[in-house]
Structure 1
Amino acid sequence: MYIHLGDNFVVPSKEVVMILDRQSSKASAIVAEFLEKQKDKMVQLANGEAKSIIITLDKIYFSPLSSSTLKKRAQIAFDIDQ
């Protein structure tokens, strides 16, 4: 299955490693350091402020959709795959 991340963009659900809330991630020094080291893998899907960060096996996406919305979509994809 696939998960729609916003801006007409989808990724295979099996490639998603983590979905983070953007506001919560700003408070974490570890997340900030990780993102700094992975700048070449970042893809901006949000035209304005991103609400969530989706980490996949090969890219990091900044999505305009909330992490709770993406979590629900990921759960649906997981349930269907099962």
Structure 2
Amino acid sequence: MYIHIGEDINIRARDIISILDKESANSSPLVEEFISHRKDKVVNLSKSPFKSIIITFDNVYLSPISSGTLKKRSNQMNIHEF
């Protein structure tokens, strides 16, 4: 199952480690440090300020889609599996 995260990018749901909203990510020094260490793997999908951060095994995505919307999409896909 795949989740659309913005700008015609779909990623496998099982590859997602974490989805963070922008406010909690900006208020956490650990997240800021993690992103600064992975700077070469950050993919900015947002033309305006990003709303969420999606962490996968390979990349860190800055998405224009809110974390709540991404969660709803992942839950809908789980329902459609059955």
Report the TM range for the smaller structure's normalisation: over 0.9
> Which structure ranks higher in relative contact order (CA pairs < 8 Å, sequence separation ≥ 6)?
1
- The residue correspondences of 1:34-53 to structure 2 (distance < 5 A) are 34-53=34-53
TM-score, normalising length from structure 1?
A: 0.93
State the number of aligned residues: 82
Tell me which residue corresponds to 1:56.
56
- Identity value in percent: 43
How far does the alpha carbon of each residue in 1:14-67 deviate from its partner, in whole angstroms, 9 at most, with x for none?
A: 101100001211000111111110101110100010000000111100000000
TM-score, normalising length from structure 2?
A: 0.93
Runs of 4+ residues deviating >4 angstroms: none
Q: Which amino acid aligns with 1:15?
A: D
